[in-house]
Structure 1
Amino acid sequence: MHVTENAPLAPLTTLRLGGPARRLVTARTDAEVIAAVQAADGAGEPLLVIGGGSNLVIGDAGFEGTVLRIATTGFRLAGTALELAAGEVWAEAVARTVEAGLAGIEFLAGIPGSAGATPVQNVGAYGQEVAQTITEVVAYDRRERETVTLPAADCAFSYRQSRFKADPERYVVLRVRFALEAADGACSPIQYAEVAKTLGVSAGERVPLRTAFETVLALRAGKGMVLDPADHDTWSAGSFFTNPLLTPDQYQAFQRCLAERELAAPAWPAPDGQTKTSAAWLIDKAGFGKGYGSGPATLSTKHTLALTNRGRATTEDLLSLAREIRDGVHAAFGVRLVNEPVMVGVEL
């Protein structure tokens, strides 16, 4: 494995923000990953595990401990069963499954980051979540000091949540296994209204797999959600806030607030009697439009959910903007936005 002292972390994140790590270890095999984790745990030092760095906000002071960058590789397809090493580039893996004619993760095209991060966040977009196709997650259990295989039913998947995210100090994902679908060249049934409208079909219909894949890539690119080093709108952590889940009482209060303003917000039924609404809608209607901000950190000019580094920002610049937006939405609608990226050494 490769070890660097006082290593810059900003270049390893899609936001390009954050101070240095006292020690950076790059592991290219599962054995190296486990050895690095055991060494840090044995020394009692803080450990931060990163993959593609697409869902991280690292403080300007950096990380006083060991940062483990997982750079393992492995793409194994047997029929419709897919196994990915944690370090595989997610966007490339999705593209390969489409080339193989397999449906199940095609609406997750273009999402930056590594495969190992997908079960942690239960990554989802355009009506798909990885929880729908993950069968098993292989991980190193730091508490039991052994490698374990967790079936999907034991991963506690929910909206942008999982067992791994709920207990971040316990598991280090090594491999992720999926069950995909051979649908005679067709995509999964379309669930997302924007995709269906763009394709000119109804929800629940299927279109050619390649068409669905390319449509999602185009939609993401139009929102600055496909990485492009030359485009500062893509210097982000993707969607910075999750879509709020409101209890019945919270939703009633929200509805009263909307009625006073003569507004109607998007709403979708969610588990446990909750209602999901749109964070992007809330941000826009609270007065934070595309491109909002005059400093080195602003909202994307293409999408109100992305907070971006315009090239000279610090992490504190970004957090200052995030707090302004969070507090402004709460003042306007009584809804508290929650950050989606993982905060390291900072809090919102």
Structure 2
Amino acid sequence: MTNLSELTTLRVGGPAVETITATTRDELVSAVASVWGFGEDPLILGGGSNVLVADEGYDGTLIRVASRGIEVLASENGRVLLRVQAGECWDDLVAFAVERGLAGIEALSGIPGSCGASPIQNIGAYGQELSACLVAVELLDREHGDLVRVPAAELGLGYRTSVLKRHGGHAPERNGVVVSIDVELTDDAGLSAPIGYAQLASALGVEMGARLPIADVRRTVLDLRRSKGMVVDPSDPDTSSAGSFFTNPIVSESFARSLPADAPRWPMGDEHEDAVVIPLGEWTGDVPPPSFEHGARVKLSAAWLIERAGITRGFRLPGSRAGISTKHTLALTNTGGSTADEIASLARYVQMRVAAEFGVVLQPEPVYVNLDF
């Protein structure tokens, strides 16, 4: 039996009853369909970078997605359409694009995980999101058992969300397995997309909106991520994590005004899932799914909320081997020999402290497997 602690970046998780490794598109489709045929839902695992698996493991079939391949489907008028197999490493796709001077995902350099997982939570960083270049996904649909091409517009892509994502243990709106993704990038003499994130612009020494050689942007993004322990490195224990463990909460404009003046905040428009906001002192520990409401919305900094709730870099609960990263308070790390329960307990403690201090319930990004949210 395969121990999931060997396959996840958090380095925790017990065994699966059976493991199937799918190295091609056809093998992936066949493996998933076969397991579905027995009335079972398999655990689908790509890079293992966004999952927290219980110490007891998974009482079922694990399907490892290892299908590789990047195909140029079309190229015209400065636009290049790529089809990428689900098991392709996301950062290998970024490197492929940068080497060919294709812009649109260079700020997403260094994000761990597979391409098939990327649309599930609409990955994003440093002013770019997958939704800006994703054209469609090839989905093996659970309800009908067939392959369908789903346009990006039908995926409900939002801030770290889609109709394919399991929210805090709640079933996705659309159940299926991503087999491949289609992305459209820009070919403009090797120039990047306009820089859209202040920290990245500062690191590059340019104004917001500037365009630079794509390779320069990728190199700077990788340097920024490494400084935060956000690029997987076996020699750096801070990278034994799931990256940012909590999403930045999105709240109403009126609630944001109630926070201290120095709380970072960014306007988000009027169509986003709201974070759970509760009256101070009334949280029972239950976390309902976020609500979807209209009206002006503001994104807050989860890192700022955590730090202002008194949780510092390197923090650990007494006797625990799970800790807050020494480089970034948004990352929960396995400092060596941690259990999944220890990481989950630390996550709940962080959640509790922020809820008690500010009335905001932080939502974890990783998928929990056989663990209570």
Task: Give the TM-score normalised by the residue count of structure 1.
Answer: 0.94
**Match for residue 239 of structure 1?**
244
**Match for residue 116 of structure 1?**
116
Matched, 1:32 2:57: no
Find the aligned partners of 1:162 and 1:286 in 2 and give their Cα distance.
Answer: 30
Question: Paired residue for 1:310, among 298, 319, 335?
Answer: 335
Q: Deviations over 1:219-272 (max 9, x none)?
A: 0000000011121100000000000000234324x43xx2xxxx5111111131
Q: Secondary structure at the match of 1:230?
A: coil
Shift in Å, 1:110: 0.6
Find the aligned partners of 1:276 and 1:189 in 2 and give their Cα distance.
Answer: 22
**Match for residue 36 of structure 2?**
41
**2:198 counterpart letter in structure 1:** A
Cα pair 2:163 2:174 within 8 Å, conserved: no
User: 1:66-81 to 2 correspondence within 5 Å?
Assistant: 66-77=61-72, 78-79=74-75, 80-81=80-81
Question: Paired residue for 1:196, among 201, 218, 233?
Answer: 201
User: 1:202-213 to 2 correspondence within 5 Å?
Assistant: 202-213=207-218
**Match for residue 281 of structure 1?**
304
Q: Deviations over 1:93-134 (max 9, x none)?
A: 101100000000000001110000000110000111100000
Q: Deviations over 1:46-86 (max 9, x none)?
A: 31111000000001110001111110011113431111100
**Match for residue 3 of structure 1?**
none
Shift in Å, 1:168: 6.9
Cα pair 1:57 1:342 within 8 Å, conserved: yes
Find the aligned partners of 1:249 and 1:106 in 2 and give their Cα distance.
Answer: 35
User: 1:197-346 to 2 correspondence within 5 Å?
Assistant: 197-252=202-257, 254-255=258-259, 258=260, 263-272=261-270, 273-293=296-316, 295-346=320-371
**Match for residue 12 of structure 1?**
7
Question: Paired residue for 1:183, among 180, 188, 195?
Answer: 188
Find the aligned partners of 2:216 and 2:264 in 1 and give their Cα distance.
Answer: 27
Shift in Å, 1:292: 1.1
Cα pair 1:20 1:62 within 8 Å, conserved: yes
Find the aligned partners of 1:186 and 1:32 in 2 and give their Cα distance.
Answer: 38
Q: Which runs of 5+ in 1 are unaligned?
A: 1-5
Q: Which runs of 5+ in 2 are unaligned?
A: 167-171, 271-295
**1:279 counterpart letter in structure 2:** A
Shift in Å, 1:28: 1.1
**Match for residue 162 of structure 2?**
162
Shift in Å, 1:321: 0.8
Cα pair 1:46 1:64 within 8 Å, conserved: no
Deviates more, 1:296-305 or 1:200-209: 200-209
**2:43 counterpart letter in structure 1:** L
| Number of equivalences | 336
Cα pair 1:19 1:62 within 8 Å, conserved: yes
Find the aligned partners of 2:208 and 2:35 in 1 and give their Cα distance.
Answer: 49
Q: Secondary structure at the match of 1:65?
A: strand
Percent of residue pairs bearing the same amino acid type: 46
**1:143 counterpart letter in structure 2:** E
Q: Deviations over 1:19-53 (max 9, x none)?
A: 11011111112221122112211111231111000
**2:366 counterpart letter in structure 1:** P
Shift in Å, 1:165: 1.1
Cα pair 1:28 1:70 within 8 Å, conserved: yes
Normalized per residue, the structure richer in helix is 1
